[in-house]
Amino acid sequence: MANETQMVTMEKIISLCKRRGFIFPGSEIYGGLANSWDYGPLGAQLRKNIKDSWWNFFVQSRADMFGLDAAILMNPKVWKASGHVDTFEDPLVDCKNCQSRFRADHIDEEWKTVDFRTQACPNCEKKTLTQPRQFNLMFQTAIGPVQDTGNTVYLRPETAQGIFVNFKNVMQTMRPKLPFGIGQIGKAFRNEITPGNFTFRTLEFEQMEIEYFVRPQEWEQQFEMWLSQMHAWGKQIGLDANKVHDNNIAPEELSHYSKRTVDVEFDYPFGRKELWGLAYRTDYDLKQHQEHSGEDLQFVDQATQEKFIPHVIEPSIGVDRTLLALLLSVYTEESAPTAAGESDTRVVLKFPPHIAPYTVAVLPLSKKPELQTVAEPLFHELRKYWNTEYDETQSIGKRYRRQDEIGTPFCVTVDFDSLTDNAVTVRDRDTMKQERIPISQLINYFRDRLSF
């Protein structure tokens, strides 16, 4: 029986991602662009499966949720009202000797009271650090051919504000009752001082955010409900629950809009760090937008005609960090002796079947045309239902290993017996058990195995 052996490291994940087409360095043929990453064929499908699963779990299957897809570029007044122009800042420390840049709070948690001029630089160890200065994280660009202060716009640093500015539109078009929520998936951008750790902290990333509008007196109960829903979804997509932890953020560390935040953290190989956030944003954002825009953003209770600004619970989930934490959760190495009895290691990504980039791989035993006449129509039939790959290169053993490494739950092998018994061998990724299944029953067989 195979047993699990080695620890997962970032090096192993980064190398597997490149080798198997999950994640490539951005702009690679031009020498790359620091901290930018491109998702390859497998990564793009995995991202899509994660986003589909999120949408399905948090939006489609709930009667109290509505979807939205707002623009990335918004009127700059939005960011003044939200507080991002004035307070979305990190403390930046420069080293005058080696030119390295650091976040002051990453060097010392007590950064507000520290004299950095007397501290050694974490890179060159010289005492040449500057005092911290605040650095706004929003990326700026300009509308039109001439750049001046009148046409500055920002790439959104969070998708949330697109939801708040459409609160009235959604209320008027959908006529929801409280509590209700609006969810959206989209890109966000932050000019991070210290990006790094692969896709953990990047300049461009994607968020899946919900603003859930509640009556003020029910915020605590709704907060707990959302925290448990986030954990339930994490389990459903295959995150290792033992590596996921809640961290209640101390009052003095809260963002400008939050009265309570729980960071859902993950045990990455580089430490326990934030995976997702859950914040109680009170009525801060809607109040700010009401004041700055002059629009009435109150909710009107149709039954009682009561008018008030609802409070907000915000479950915020990053696609990229989820994908990274998922790879780290499902990566396994097992000792699996070869047919010749030699010791070997099998790398398996144990994704739940609905999240795996490919669900099924069709593998004709050889390239002989008579096998293709069975395998190809079968491949085309299966791909109507599930993401299916066709692979006839290399030995069957090597092809199984490749499918294990990209996490395909089922391999279907067409062999010479298939020509006469009209059956194929189905191999289970996790147990490596093989079953002979009649081709006519294959779709139903997978339907049963894939229902969750």
**Sites of contact with ligand GAP (CB under 6 A):** 158, 160, 190, 192, 201-202, 205, 207, 209, 274, 276-277, 314, 316, 318, 320-321
| Residue with Cβ nearer ligand GAP (156 or 168) | 156
Q: How far is the CB of 24 from ligand GAP (least distance, A)?
A: 17
Tokens of 24: 């490539």
Tokens of 301: 């209770």
Spatial CA neighbour of 382 closest among 365, 354, 360: 360
| Residue with Cβ nearer ligand GAP (209 or 334) | 209
Q: How far is the CB of 180 from ligand GAP (least distance, A)?
A: 18
Contact between 137 and 105 (Cβ < 8 Å)? no
Give the separation between CA 222 and CA 216, rounded to whole angstroms.
10
Tokens of 137: 């994280």
Contact between 379 and 430 (Cβ < 8 Å)? no
Q: How far is the CB of 54 from ligand GAP (least distance, A)?
A: 12
Q: How far is the CB of 256 from ligand GAP (least distance, A)?
A: 11
Q: How far is the CB of 257 from ligand GAP (least distance, A)?
A: 8
Using CA atoms, how far residue 224 sits from 220, 229, 231, 278, 302, in Å, is 6, 9, 11, 10, 27
Tokens of 231: 């954990």
Tokens of 93: 């420390």
Q: How far is the CB of 209 from ligand GAP (least distance, A)?
A: 6
| Residue with Cβ nearer ligand GAP (257 or 446) | 257
| Residue with Cβ nearer ligand GAP (160 or 297) | 160
Q: How far is the CB of 146 from ligand GAP (least distance, A)?
A: 30
Integer Rg of the chain from CA: 26
Q: How far is the CB of 186 from ligand GAP (least distance, A)?
A: 11
| Residue with Cβ nearer ligand GAP (320 or 392) | 320
Tokens of 2: 């195979």
**Which residue's CB atom is positioned nearest to ligand GAP?**
318
Q: How far is the CB of 334 from ligand GAP (least distance, A)?
A: 30
Q: 267 pairs with which residues across the strands?
A: 272
Tokens of 415: 């062999």
| Residue with Cβ nearer ligand GAP (190 or 311) | 190
Helix, strand and coil percent figures for the chain, each rounded to 5:
35, 30, 35
Most distant pair of Cα atoms in the chain: their distance? 81
Element (H, E) at 205: strand 204-214
Spatial CA neighbour of 373 closest among 407, 416, 336, 341: 416
Please enumerate in sequence order all residues whose Cβ is within 8 A of that of 417, keeping only pairs 6 or more positions apart, or say none: 423
| Residue with Cβ nearer ligand GAP (322 or 418) | 322
Task: Report angle CA 28, 34, 37 to the nearest 5 degrees.
Answer: 55
| Residue with Cβ nearer ligand GAP (201 or 289) | 201
| Residue with Cβ nearer ligand GAP (158 or 392) | 158
